[in-house]
Structure 1
Amino acid sequence: MSNRAVYPALKELARGNVPDRASLVYRPFWWEAAPPRDEASTRPPATADVVIVGSGFTGLSAALTLLRGGRQVAVLERGVPGCGASTRNGGQVGSGNQKFRVKHLIELRGRAKAESMLREGVLMLDYIERLITSEGIECHFERCGRFRGAVREEHYEAMARDMEDLKAVAGVESFMVPRSEQHKEIGTELFFGGSVLPNDASLHPGLYHSGLIQRVEELGGIVRGSAGAESIIPEKHGFTIVTRQVKIRCRNVIIATNGYTDGLVPELGRRIVPVGSGQITTGEIPESLFSRLMPSGRVYGNTKRVFSYFRPVPGQRRLMWGGRVGRFASHRSTNAYCHLARDLLSVFPDLSDVPVTHGWGGLIGYTYDEVPHLGRTRDGVHFAIGYCGTGVSRATYFGHKVALQLMEASESATAFDDLNFPAFPIHPVAKRAVPFVETWYRLRDHFNI
């Protein structure tokens, strides 16, 4: 009897009618090229200059900067290093300009602050490219550009005005693609045209993460999995970090946990709400069909409130599709990914017979004001968290900057330093309300209200 895996077709998954023998691989597709490490038997050190809690892009970027600044660094992870959002995301790399229209950001923050935040977003994108190049990390980084499809006619006009404002305020280049020309960007009739940010990028998040770990360890840094911090005790000249295996004494602490931020530092836990994100990956798509559907090879998104993001897998004719996670089903059940298959087929109905091989989920860290934050708590704990779903370049850049701030370096300032970091008014209620808010947004998308 053959042991060959049987995967559901997209149309079967979309209908929730998956054959009994068919299933998905319930782990990130990116782990195929960059498998997680097994570190259960390795103890953390007893001392360090700096302990970083969280081994994602933020923590590892901070570790690199600190190590090059002469600090001894230990990075602690509750599970497997990188097991959270850093190896579970879509690998789309932007400047973080997608959360607010420019005019709305100016209304919220004033023109000067809005301009500085938007321009620093461009610096974030440039920084991650320089880091990957200088460190020689092979992770398929490419300035492929981003196409964002308008799901309503009025969205196209609103995007056009916003792209004009983005150019005027922050110097960001873009161009609009009318519906009559969008076949050059994407093979679908669903959208009413769209916008292109040609300088946005993509990478393989698994390979990027493993490359960061390798560079940190080559510089003498310590990265430990199965070593979750259980408490942080402030002391006269630093901190004691209590883990299950050992107590670690250090001078400084950085919290880099984003969507996995909990009550370890209550001051931060009240300021982050975790939001689930889910992804699926298809099997190989025939070349003629693949090149027609995604001729420009960009990364893609849309203008829905509950938006989707998708892209070709580097070096393969596969499609990765992401969106919000299925709320009322286990992540190890095909039911958690039916809605993603339906969303995919609404854009690319020609893929109905293509198999789906992988399905997985992760947590995004959302802040009340929908901007990321870095700084220090009242007890002197440094932090960089809250990327709100646009974390690849932001996390890398914020990790670098919070490390510079810890070392009191002259180039450590950011446009985000003086922003108030508001707590969620009723944090437990806000966490429970996420699926209901998402359902309301889906209804508004459907009925255009």
Structure 2
Amino acid sequence: MNVRCDELRATDLARGHSLPSEAMTLQPYWWMAAPRDTEISDALPAQTDVAIVGSGFTGLSAALTLLKRGRSVVVLERDVPGFGASTRNGGQIGSGNQKFRVKKLIELRGRRKAEELLREGTRMLDYIEHLISSENIECYFQRCGRFRGAMHPSHFEAMARDMEDLKSVAGVESFMVPKSEQHSEIGSDAFFGGSVLPNDASLHPGLYHQGLIDKVRSAGGVIVGHAEVFSIDETPEGFTVKTAKGDLRCRETIIATNGYTGGVVPELQRRIVPIGSALIATDEIPETLLAKLLPKNRVYGNTNRVFYYYRRAPSERRIIWGGRVGRLVDRASPSAFRHLARDMLHVFPELSDVKVTHGWDGLIGYTFDEVPHLGRTRQGIHYALGYCGTGVSRATYFGNKIALRLLGDPDGRTAFDDLTFPSFPLHPIAKHAVPVVETWYRVRDAMQK
């Protein structure tokens, strides 16, 4: 199939098996408004109060909290600052309540702990709104609400019960939209109704990340790119962090690497499995069509086990569509994103002739118990990670909390503090099992249609 960059339609991508790499831009759409700075990087100082490994939302949020408390901070990044998932996600912001149905969470943790976790989830969403507002970060934050489409009639009934439980246990507002009324929420017949969480939000992750970088640097923080960390060694005064740009002495260290967590701290590596997430962006769509497809301009998802998520791009007439990474394909080829185009056209067949301009992927950090964790290792290294695909608000909030904990501030306490952080049994096998599990889930999803 011969396809030029200026004519890669969604239908071409959905059908294509050997598309040339030039057919679309293989990097995040968000980088158009917030390009990664490949040249400028702060010099590595000899010492600092706190070294933070990872320049995503967690690391920058922690850095900002520490700098405001008078600590010196160096943020270390293996690649260009912001290269990882913080600038590669879909920009959807929830409270983190979507991983378990309330009834299941109560079965796992007990009612009291479930209520604590769910209510803290709503505080995460409030915190990121407060931070963006107080720091005047221009990133198109808005409380747009979330519509989640039911893929089967039984899913609708299950969601309705879960929304009732969520209101009863955590006070979270929601409402159900039956199939007969779903065109008020979405211009598609692909679902059997759905639920709406009106307080969920969205932002431009590239601009949000750049705003955090600017705030950290203006507060005196140092951000060093291309400074891969090779080891963290204890010293009488704290730690020596050995990096690709030299050694850094510090009193305290925070690991904030989530899905990009490597072997520098084996205790953490065993507890995180990276899972790939991929996204595409369309070219601009006529306003009349976009208003028909997404009339409320919410963020969107579905009830599949291997789900997809989508939204309108802020300030432009594009759709951002995400899901799991393609399997058994060249990840550096547009063909790796054809399953996303197929899902998009299943929901919105009207987009068949719309061009697809960008495709990219990133790594989500998954934990064995599917909840995030923060704490301190046996070596005394602080950490916050494991957001399981809901990291925009969780990472920002956990970054603030782990910084407060490092400072000994009682406000650093969370409902997650007393949760055991389990390792993955047979961790190397668990990493390779992800494609098998995903395939099985896709089969089960297909059987329910």
- TM (norm. structure 1) is 0.98
Within 5 Å, give how 1:40-189 maps onto structure 2. Answer: 42-189=42-189
**Partner deviation per Cα, 1:270-291 (whole Å, 9 max, x = no partner):** 0000000000000011111111
Q: Supply the AA of the counterpart residue of 1:57.
A: F
Percent identical residues = 66
2:192 alignment partner in structure 1 = 192
Within 5 Å, give how 1:433-444 maps onto structure 2. Answer: 433-444=433-444
Q: Supply the AA of the counterpart residue of 2:301.
A: G
2:376 alignment partner in structure 1 = 376
2:296 alignment partner in structure 1 = 296
Judge conservation of contact 2:34–2:206 (CA < 8 Å) in 1. Answer: yes
Judge conservation of contact 1:7–1:24 (CA < 8 Å) in 2. Answer: no
2:271 alignment partner in structure 1 = 271
**Partner deviation per Cα, 1:392-423 (whole Å, 9 max, x = no partner):** 00000000000000000121100000000000
Aligned counterparts of 1:240 and 1:21: Cα–Cα separation in 2: 42
- C-alpha spacing 1:384/1:19, structure 2 compared with 1 (3 Å): closer
Unaligned runs of 5+ in 2: none
Q: Supply the AA of the counterpart residue of 2:120.
A: E
> Shift of residue 42 of structure 1?
4.6
- C-alpha spacing 1:328/1:68, structure 2 compared with 1 (3 Å): same
Q: Supply the AA of the counterpart residue of 2:11.
A: K
- C-alpha spacing 1:275/1:20, structure 2 compared with 1 (3 Å): closer
- C-alpha spacing 1:87/1:115, structure 2 compared with 1 (3 Å): same
Q: Secondary structure at the match of 1:6?
A: helix
Aligned counterparts of 1:236 and 1:105: Cα–Cα separation in 2: 43
Q: Supply the AA of the counterpart residue of 1:412.
A: G
1:341 alignment partner in structure 2 = 341
Judge conservation of contact 2:19–2:334 (CA < 8 Å) in 1. Answer: no
Judge conservation of contact 1:39–1:226 (CA < 8 Å) in 2. Answer: no
> Shift of residue 17 of structure 1?
5.8
Aligned counterparts of 1:359 and 1:21: Cα–Cα separation in 2: 10
How many corresponding residue pairs? 446
Q: Secondary structure at the match of 2:306?
A: coil
**Partner deviation per Cα, 1:82-131 (whole Å, 9 max, x = no partner):** 11000000000000000000000000000000000000000000000000
Q: Secondary structure at the match of 1:411?
A: helix
Judge conservation of contact 1:63–1:221 (CA < 8 Å) in 2. Answer: yes
Judge conservation of contact 2:42–2:222 (CA < 8 Å) in 1. Answer: no
Q: Considering only aligned residues, what root-mean-square deviation do their CA atoms show, in Å?
A: 1.3
Aligned counterparts of 1:401 and 1:120: Cα–Cα separation in 2: 12
Judge conservation of contact 1:43–1:224 (CA < 8 Å) in 2. Answer: yes
> Shift of residue 163 of structure 1?
0.2
Q: Secondary structure at the match of 1:361?
A: strand
Aligned counterparts of 1:97 and 1:214: Cα–Cα separation in 2: 30
Judge conservation of contact 1:6–1:21 (CA < 8 Å) in 2. Answer: no
1:223 alignment partner in structure 2 = 223
**Partner deviation per Cα, 1:220-258 (whole Å, 9 max, x = no partner):** 000111011110001122000001221000000000000
Q: Supply the AA of the counterpart residue of 2:115.
A: E
**Partner deviation per Cα, 1:40-76 (whole Å, 9 max, x = no partner):** 7653111000000000000000000000011000000
Aligned counterparts of 1:42 and 1:296: Cα–Cα separation in 2: 43
Unaligned runs of 5+ in 1: none
Judge conservation of contact 1:7–1:22 (CA < 8 Å) in 2. Answer: no
Aligned counterparts of 2:445 and 2:99: Cα–Cα separation in 1: 17
Aligned counterparts of 2:375 and 2:382: Cα–Cα separation in 1: 6
> Shift of residue 328 of structure 1?
2.0
Q: Supply the AA of the counterpart residue of 1:46.
A: A
1:396 alignment partner in structure 2 = 396
- C-alpha spacing 1:316/1:296, structure 2 compared with 1 (3 Å): same
Aligned counterparts of 2:146 and 2:375: Cα–Cα separation in 1: 31
- C-alpha spacing 1:354/1:401, structure 2 compared with 1 (3 Å): same
1:432 alignment partner in structure 2 = 432
Judge conservation of contact 1:8–1:19 (CA < 8 Å) in 2. Answer: no
Judge conservation of contact 1:91–1:204 (CA < 8 Å) in 2. Answer: yes
Judge conservation of contact 1:331–1:360 (CA < 8 Å) in 2. Answer: no
Which is further off, 37-46 or 164-173?
Answer: 37-46
The yes-or-no answer on 1:252 pairing with 2:238 is no
